[in-house]
Structure 1
Amino acid sequence: MSAESGVKTAVSPVDAQKIGSVKATANPGDLLDSLDIDWSTSTQSAANLLYAASQLKHSDIPVAFPTETVYGLGADATRSAAVRGIYKAKQRPVDNPLIVHFSSLQQLRDLLRSEGGTQRNGISSTTSDADSIPRIYHPLISRFWPGPLTIILPNPPNSPLAPEVTAGLSTFGARMPRHVLALALIQKAGVPVAAPSANASTKPSPTAAEHVAHDLDGRIETIIDGGPCDVGVESTVVDGLSDPPLILRPGGISIEQLRSCAGWENVQIGYKNSAEGGSQPKAPGMKYRHYSPKATVVLYEAGKAPPTLEALETYVASSRRIGVITTKSWVVDESTGSMRADRGHSTENPNGVHTEEDTPGFRGMLKALHSTPTPRAAMKSHSLQLGGSPLQLLEISLGPSTAKIARGIFAALRELDREDVDAIFVEGIDENEVMNRLRKAAEIKISP
């Protein structure tokens, strides 16, 4: 509990399979099916989620909740006081725009459409079947929503969104998360939810409720604990309003996956460090340093040989503890603690971070609900002599799978940081979605 804020933070466990009967209903001719929930009246999980939904709708203190990417810190996107609560809790710069989360396409269309049949975004709304979502996004929505993809849309005149959401921009980012608890929470609150990652600004993104509690204890009242996140990196942000379309932030959907969709064959990378030119970021993650632990992070680009014992010694300080995150080829010798590259060590290399379900939409999401969560990578401790004194090497191996690396990288950074290591050495990979995150975390980058 924070003496300054006086807010008591509670972690409320919610089991997605115990909030009630959840089913997907087909909507012929629409881009998506719909999610129907017959709420339980007897389970603690349902009671916890309904209470959080009430807080979202009525309180100015944000609520933390799980999504498939990372935990989000949500507030009613239509109320300025509530949105300002996000910036206050995170200590986030006010020129960094927020992504708005929706539980259905209808909820998004209601925000985009005008009343009285006038035009918005260059599309007439005079008939009930007119679609206010630009058609460039339809192939992406059909394939990746709900999922780790954010689309940039024009903010309509007289928009119900609080101005703090867009940070003065004429556009906003919209996403439909692929997590039953996130969708149920937004649906029950009945409002679009502005939600960045639920961490203190610049800290590694939270992929578990305990990460949120570590950063925001005493700053918010409620953390919905729905277990670990499945994807582990934030959503990909795309701008289909530009020509050619642009990726503004890499994330859970790869550029190869985007280019396989009609109208997106020539999508280009459009993100850069906005701080260099002093410009306002168009999407979250473009300007400010993110994902940084307390310890020095030394990132080795893909293909670089692992650090020698002499290189490790350069970063040894008072704790005499060094953290190492291995991925595709680095191997730590159990007896000596030294590292080597083993190209045969990598046995799995799926293309892209996001593993698309066989069934898209809500039905695919519900199908995946009953899958077994991936266990957290174990930490190994190696004792060695360095410079005539003992040194402890703490290793977390994420394995060669890109999806598993993405899912575990933020948790690994946090776990090693909690061990008070002097530095964290990270074996980089080829995939840009993950490496973009790591480059923002690293103080020192070593290229091949």
Structure 2
Amino acid sequence: MSNEASLRDGQSAYKTRVLRVDPSRAGCLKARPGRFSSQDDLQVEWHRDTVDYESLTTAVDLLHNTDVPVAFPTETVYGLGADATRTGAVQGIYTAKQRPSDNPLIVHVCSLKQLRRLLPPSNGGDDYEPIPKIYRALIQRFWPGPLTIILPTTDQSEWRLSPFTTAKLHTFGARMPSSPLALLLLKLCDLPLAAPSANASTRPSPTLAEHVFEDLNGRIQLILDGGPSNVGVESTVVDGLSDGGPVVLRPGGVSVAMLRECEGWENVRVAYKDKAEGDTEENDQAISRSMPRAPGMKYRHYSPRAKVVLFEPGATAPSIPDLKSADSSKGIGIIRTKAWDMDTILRSGSSEDVALWDVDIGPGMEDIARGLFAAFRELDQKQVDTILVEGIDSTDDTLAGAIMNRVRKAAELKIS
């Protein structure tokens, strides 16, 4: 049986290696600014005599010469990367993740110089700039960083994206990560990398190399371990070329409030809908039949194996009697953020007959974002069958909106 057939059948096909890489030992990054970017081009002084550089070359060899994707860290979550121009390589991502191929993938670049190779070439004018003007203020402020912009595809570019990267849309999402290790990999391989989160489809996104190994061991050959991701939720996806004006397609590491501080984005609209906000079975079916414009818009995402119960902001914290009445035979996990006090919960009754695990990921917003997916995975390892999550107020267009979007997509039940 071939490796590809083994993966389709859910079997292990590869021996998965985890290589720890210290980016500062692999090379020294030197950004070259341009007209509207601090990183128009990227130069690297390579440290070729180090194990860290050798690990990067191992990844580059796989990216160039196989259709097996490579997992690597970004500042948001770990990504699963492959050459975005080769259909076989991109299909390798879908096979490893066991993910449908009708969801577009975000293309990662290390500089605007690389991005321009995906856009229409110059017709000879010295002042030609293929990057649309609407995005330049965002690029100047947020790149490198957790922001994805939607751009039109073209048949005239130097790098031509596989239709499996774009899900056969006439647009694609592009991002320049800020993770030094991701930038080094992108520079050394000199490829645009299509890279969704490096988890099995529908599972919580990975923020550690060990999370990737848990989901994809035997399904890929290499994980580059660069330590924890420091944002913890995926990138914000925006479309500045929409007919009705700029829109946010997916909330993420750049908040709506931050976008509205940029020229041309003062009135940006939200074009996504959280699962909790009035969805019906008919709406779900309509969404599943539609073609998503960005990742995270179509299928169930971010879900642990346990049933997730979201307590919306303002809902009363659960009591011990509430926990005892829950349909939970193995145990209950509690994820606290800002207000819930575990001592108060425990004083509400005898907990002798309740197996409880408590994870406190607050109270800071950045701490909550970094800790959410890891908490889901930690409680899965405890084999609880129910996870109660303390929701946070997301009405101020901050990072809280992205956090609550992820929890609502994972939750099977919401309590107001």
TM-score, with length taken from structure 1:
0.83
Structure 2 CA distance, aligned partners of 1:49 and 1:314? 52
Aligned CA RMSD, in angstroms, stands at 1.8
Preserved contact between residue 312 and residue 392 of structure 2 (Cα < 8 Å): yes
Displacement, 1:158?
5.0
Closer, same or farther in 2 for the Cα pair 1:404/1:158, shift >3 Å? same
Question: What SS is found at the alignment partner of 1:73?
Answer: strand
- 2:374 aligned with 1:411, yes or no? yes
Structure 2 CA distance, aligned partners of 1:338 and 1:324? 15
Cross-structure match for 1:352? none
Structure 1 CA distance, aligned partners of 2:29 and 2:245? 39
Cross-structure match for 1:251? 252
Preserved contact between residue 199 and residue 205 of structure 2 (Cα < 8 Å): yes
| 1:3-60 alpha-carbon deviations (Å, 9 max, x no partner) | 93421100110012211233334x3534223432211122211111121122112210
Displacement, 1:422?
2.2
Amino acid at match of 1:102: V
- 2:297 aligned with 1:286, yes or no? yes
Amino acid at match of 1:406: A
Cross-structure match for 2:386? 423
Which of 337, 357, 360 matches 2:346?
A: 337
- 2:413 aligned with 1:444, yes or no? yes
Amino acid at match of 1:55: L
Closer, same or farther in 2 for the Cα pair 1:391/1:47, shift >3 Å? same
Which of 331, 337, 358 matches 1:327?
A: 337
Structure 1 CA distance, aligned partners of 2:119 and 2:271? 25
Structure 1 CA distance, aligned partners of 2:109 and 2:216? 24
Cross-structure match for 1:344? none
Structure 2 CA distance, aligned partners of 1:128 and 1:338? 72
- 2:161 aligned with 1:151, yes or no? no
- 2:31 aligned with 1:24, yes or no? yes
- 2:91 aligned with 1:84, yes or no? yes
How high is the sequence identity, in percent, across the aligned residues? Answer: 55
| 1:205-237 alpha-carbon deviations (Å, 9 max, x no partner) | 000000000000000000000000000000000
Structure 2 CA distance, aligned partners of 1:43 and 1:267? 46
Which of 312, 316, 324 matches 1:301?
A: 312
Cross-structure match for 1:313? 324
Displacement, 1:390?
2.8
Preserved contact between residue 326 and residue 399 of structure 1 (Cα < 8 Å): yes
Structure 1 CA distance, aligned partners of 2:413 and 2:377? 18
Question: What SS is found at the alignment partner of 1:182?
Answer: helix
| 1:393-421 alpha-carbon deviations (Å, 9 max, x no partner) | 21111122111101110000100111001
Q: Which runs of 5+ in 2 are unaligned?
A: 1-5, 276-282, 394-399
Preserved contact between residue 315 and residue 422 of structure 1 (Cα < 8 Å): no
Structure 2 CA distance, aligned partners of 1:314 and 1:96? 39
Closer, same or farther in 2 for the Cα pair 1:433/1:4, shift >3 Å? closer
Amino acid at match of 1:164: F
- When the two structures are aligned, how many residues end up with a matched partner? 389
Question: What SS is found at the alignment partner of 1:112?
Answer: coil
Structure 1 CA distance, aligned partners of 2:294 and 2:66? 26
TM-score, with length taken from structure 2:
0.90
Preserved contact between residue 57 and residue 190 of structure 1 (Cα < 8 Å): no
Q: Which runs of 5+ in 1 are unaligned?
A: 118-124, 340-383
Residues 106-145 of structure 1: pairs in structure 2 closer than 5 A: 106-114=113-121, 117=122, 125-145=123-143
Residues 27-426 of structure 1: pairs in structure 2 closer than 5 A: 27-33=33-39, 34-114=41-121, 117=122, 125-158=123-156, 160-242=160-242, 243-272=244-273, 275-277=284-286, 278-319=289-330, 321-333=331-343, 337-338=346-347, 385-386=350-351, 389-426=352-389
Structure 1 stretches of 4+ moved >4 Å: none
Amino acid at match of 2:377: R
Structure 1 CA distance, aligned partners of 2:46 and 2:220? 26
Cross-structure match for 2:397? none
Structure 1 CA distance, aligned partners of 2:240 and 2:46? 37
Cross-structure match for 2:280? none
Closer, same or farther in 2 for the Cα pair 1:228/1:82, shift >3 Å? same
Closer, same or farther in 2 for the Cα pair 1:154/1:326, shift >3 Å? same
Preserved contact between residue 316 and residue 322 of structure 1 (Cα < 8 Å): no
Question: What SS is found at the alignment partner of 2:378?
Answer: helix
| 1:46-81 alpha-carbon deviations (Å, 9 max, x no partner) | 111121122112210000000000000000000000
Question: What SS is found at the alignment partner of 2:138?
Answer: helix
Structure 1 CA distance, aligned partners of 2:292 and 2:132? 22
